[in-house]
């Protein structure tokens, strides 16, 4: 990890965002460490671009659990665990401005897809094209795209992300719904659910189609409702 070290004699501390990054990257590590396939070509994170972030983003959910924070997120001086009220406020803050953030991201993803549906792009008026797409989807005038097309590096930097910017949000659909399997089991450390996750996701690499892998783990295709709840956009609201 590339965390900042503390001055000599002082403990190195992580912000909550740093800790989330740690859990995220360790999710990628587990994807490789638990891989159990014959050929390295399909091992670990060698999976579809819009599936590779699922195991890492899913692992982030355990950072926010009181069982984890109560044991590890302790005061550097007193050793006291994080107060429950502080944790509640910290988690509540993650839904701030999510309506704006979701729309600005989705707009960029749709423009990306529309650009790659063009049969040819000679003499393309990029600003007019962008404007037409945003009008078609009913983009609110108060919100702009996260990435305006002229500096939208994901679109033009190569095949890896071409027409693939949507993948970040799709992976979040998967991780939110996937964690719902543990919530529904009544135990976020449920061994049977964890075994399915290990067998069909972390250990399986690209052994099967990602949709088949997800269904084998979850029992069905993902549902967007958990993402809406996570972002505070669902009428249900709150955390399970």
The per-residue pLDDT for range 82-112, each reduced to its tens digit, is 888 988 898 889 899 999 999 999 999 999 9
Per the structure block, which two tokens stand in for 93?
């803050």
Helix (H/G/I), strand (E/B), else coil: 79: coil
pLDDT above 70 (res 48)? yes
Question: What's the rounded mean pLDDT across residues 38-46?
Answer: 95
Closest CA to 189 of 10, 40, 65: 65
Sequence-distant (6+) residues with CB within 8 A of 140 are 103
Dihedral, CA atoms, 207, 51, 126, 135, nearest 10 degrees?
Answer: 130
User: pTM to 2 decimals?
Assistant: 0.86
pLDDT band at 139 (very low <50, low <70, confident <90, very high): very high
pLDDT above 70 coverage of the chain, percent: 98
| Interior/surface letters 77-86, b for 16+ CB within 10 angstroms, e for the rest | eeeebbeeee
Out of 27-36, 51-60, 106-115, 150-159, pick the least confident.
150-159
Helix (H/G/I), strand (E/B), else coil: 72: helix
Alpha helices in 121-209 (DSSP H): 126-136, 153-156, 167-184, 191-197
As annotated, the active-site residues are 25
Question: What's the rounded mean pLDDT across residues 181-204?
Answer: 97
């Amino acid at each position: 990890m590339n965390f900042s070290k503390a001055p000599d004699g002082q403990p190195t501390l992580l912000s909550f965002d740093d800790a989330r990054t740690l859990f995220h990257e360790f999710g990628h590590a587990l994807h490789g460490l638990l891989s159990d396939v014959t050929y390295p070509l399909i091992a670990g994170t060698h999976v579809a671009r819009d599936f590779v972030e699922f195991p890492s983003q899913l692992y982030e959910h355990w950072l926010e659990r009181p069982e984890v924070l109560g044991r590890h997120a302790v005061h550097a001086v007193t050793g006291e665990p994080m107060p429950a009220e502080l944790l509640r406020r910290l988690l509540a803050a993650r839904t701030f401005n999510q309506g704006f953030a979701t729309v600005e991201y989705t707009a960029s993803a749709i423009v990306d897809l529309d650009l790659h549906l063009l049969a040819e792009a000679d003499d393309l008026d990029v600003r007019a094209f962008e404007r037409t797409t945003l009008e078609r989807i009913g983009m609110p005038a108060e919100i702009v795209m996260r990435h305006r097309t002229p500096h939208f590096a994901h679109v033009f930097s190569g095949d890896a992300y071409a027409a693939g910017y949507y993948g970040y949000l799709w992976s979040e659909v998967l991780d939110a719904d996937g964690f719902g399997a543990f919530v529904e089991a009544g135990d976020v450390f449920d061994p049977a659910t964890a075994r399915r996750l290990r067998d069909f996701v972390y250990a399986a690499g690209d052994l099967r189609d990602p949709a088949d892998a997800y269904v084998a783990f979850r029992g069905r295709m993902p549902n967007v409702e958990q993402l809406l709840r996570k972002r505070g956009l669902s009428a249900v609201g709150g955390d399970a």
